Amino acid sequence: MPDALRDHAVDNLRYIRETMERASAFTSIPGWGGFVIGLTALFTTVIAEPMTAWNPRRWLAVWLLEAAVAAAIGGLTMWRKGVRAGTPFTTSAARRFFISYFAPLIAGAILTVAIVRGGTVAPLPSVWLLLYGVAFVSSGAFSIRVIPAMGVCFMLFGAAAAFVPLAVGNLLLGAAFGGLHIIFGLIIARNYGG
């Protein structure tokens, strides 16, 4: 009987904690969407690689197109996961998640324009990876636990990309946008409902 009472109290405390976590976290992160984004990024890496030497502007255009495709896949799969799970996109947790996520990405877009106007594209892989990582580290505070870890991995690739030529930076983009999205996409899909 005392064990049953203790178990009941432990269950109640766990229930409270889980409810609080669910109420304060934005959970509609699309694992399968991330997986598909990873595949498209790997494809982009392969076709962009030769352009690093003979036409960096075209290399930039290919990656910007990939960003648009990835945003479409991510947005669509996030919306579908949210609708399926009945998770609203208007909670304060969702708002905090999106503000924290988009602020570094907007900074990245502005820096991209400034860097390209300066006549170079070489720093872009590092800038993109670092700020994309920051977006996940900061927004991860309002989401599932694996998101900040993914952000840190992107930042590590970004730090490495800061000290290499564009051709290697392109490969690091592929390893991170491709490999990390595939790995973490599968983790999220398996453990967080798709």
Partner 1 sequence: MAAKTAAKRVVVETPIPDFDRLIHEKTRLAIVSALAVNSTLTFNELKAILKTTDGNVSVHTRKLEEANYLSCKKSFEGRMPRTEYSLTAAGRRALQRYLDHMEALINNVRTG
Per DSSP, the residues of the chain read -HHHHHHHHHHHHHHHHHHHHHHH-B----HHHHHHHHHHHHHHHHHHTTHHHH-HHHHHHHHHHHHHHHHHHHHHHHHHHHHHHT--S-SHHHHHHHHHHHHHHHHHHHHHHHHHHTT--TTHHHHHHHHHHHHHHHHGGGB-THHHHHHHHHHHHHHHHTTS-HHHHHHHHIIIIIIIHHHHHHHHHHHTT-
Under the criterion CB under 8 A, does residue 84 sit at the interface with partner 1? no
Under the criterion CB under 8 A, does residue 15 sit at the interface with partner 1? yes
Return the residue of 46, 58, 92, 191 that touches partner 1, per CB under 8 A.
92
Q: Is the CB of 90 or the CB of 117 nearer to partner 1?
A: 90
Cβ at position 92, least distance to partner 1 in Å: 6
**Binding mask of the shown chain, residues 23 to 42, with x at each position contacting partner 1 by CB under 8 A:** xx------------------
**Quick one: which segment of 13-21, 40-48, 117-125, 148-156 binds partner 1 (CB under 8 A)?**
13-21
Residues that bind partner 1 (CB under 8 A): 1-3, 5-6, 8-10, 12-13, 15-16, 19-20, 22-24, 86-88, 90-93
